[in-house]
Homo-oligomer: A and B are copies of this chain.
Amino acid sequence: MEVKSITEQKSLLDTLAPGKRTRLRRLLFEFGPGHGTLMLLPIDQGIEHGPRDFFPNPASKDPDYQFRLAAEAGYSAIACQIGLATKYYPDYAGSVPLILKVNAKTDLPPAPRALSTLNASVEDAVRLGADAVGYTLYVGSPRQDEDLLQLKSVREDCDRYGMPLVIWAYPRGEAVESKGGQNSFYAIDYAARMAMEMGADVVKLNMPKIDPDKDKDSPAPYNEGGFSQADAIAHCVESAGRSLVVLSGGSRIDDDKLLDQTRFVMEAGGSGVIYGRNVWQREWNDAVEVVEQIKEIMLSSVTRVP
């Protein structure tokens, strides 16, 4: 039986203009596990959290570590900010696709009014040979209005240059907290739809958590209970429509859990995963090994789609 990917089923590529199709094909079929899947390596934690994330594995402080891992362990792409793309990607240009993240913030100022302003442009991505652009959208933030306006300019440039757009869709803000929280099924489901409607080609979601205590503050029908985590993931993937979905891992978790949730998202129709600390907070050999396991699960799950 031939492997047939979610991506083909979703027919996303069919609707894409040639530039986007060319570039996204590289991530889906030419690099990484292939067969229409996405295994992405993020190295933006140095900004989002600071260098503290590198202490568990001191080798990881040198950005070359993540670039080498992405290239040698066979990732679909590496995602980073302009500074790393400029000073470290040249050594790996062509060896692994680049997703240039164009906005960021530190975790120093408090988050209730979260907005990640631009620090790079789609033109930078084109110039650097990137195959996609990453944008972090804080759905529900009091500054969502500014966020959407900023995203518009990025989305338009992506259309202009045929650059695939990956949206990191994160629920944030007081209103989100009062309706179940940023990891609730309600909030993640909303974020998935929002990203799709705003023009994402790929949506990056955090794992939705079912928590009856908090979910009762969500609007109906989310507050009515009866949803399993598998349901929640499936709904979120469906809410993203023809946009591809990758699930993130967050801070380091147990390996079994990591692999389980990888299977979950693939079975739910997602396109893959984006794990950072769970991978590069390990010594080289250990990291390479877990990547192999992830890849296997991804491919074995994807085959189940007829």
Interface residues of A (CB under 8 A from B): 12, 15, 46-47, 50-52, 55, 61-63, 80-84, 86-88, 90, 104-106, 108-110, 115-121, 124, 127, 139-142, 144-146, 148-149, 151-152, 155-156, 159, 171, 173, 175-176, 179, 186, 189-190, 192-194, 196-200, 219-222, 235, 238-239, 241-243
Contacts and interface: CB of A to CB of B under 8 A. Distances in A.
A75 to B, nearest CB: 20
19 contacts: A12-B87, A15-B87, A47-B193, A47-B194, A51-B190, A52-B220, A52-B222, A62-B241, A63-B241, A83-B200, A88-B241, A108-B139, A108-B171, A108-B190, A117-B148, A117-B149, A118-B149, A118-B152, A119-B155
A105 B52 contact: no
Contacts of A62: 238, 241
A125 to B, nearest CB: 12
A121 B88 CA distance: 27
Contacts of A80: 197
A156 to B, nearest CB: 7
A15 B85 CA distance: 11
Contacts of A117: 145-146, 148-149, 152
Contacts of A179: 108
B193 A50 contact: yes
Contacts of A106: 139-140, 144, 190, 194
B199 A90 contact: no
Contact of A87 (B82, B86, B145, B243): B243
Contacts of A156: 121, 124
A149 B124 CA distance: 14
A58 to B, nearest CB: 9
A84 B127 CA distance: 29
Q: Which of A151, A156, A186, A220 gathers most chain B CB within 10 Å?
A: A156
Nearest to A242: B87
A91 to B, nearest CB: 8
A273 to B, nearest CB: 22
Contacts of A15: 86-87, 90
Given A146-B117, A196-B83, A173 B46 contact: no
Nearest to A220: B52
Given A88-B242, A144-B109, A197-B83, A221 B52 contact: yes
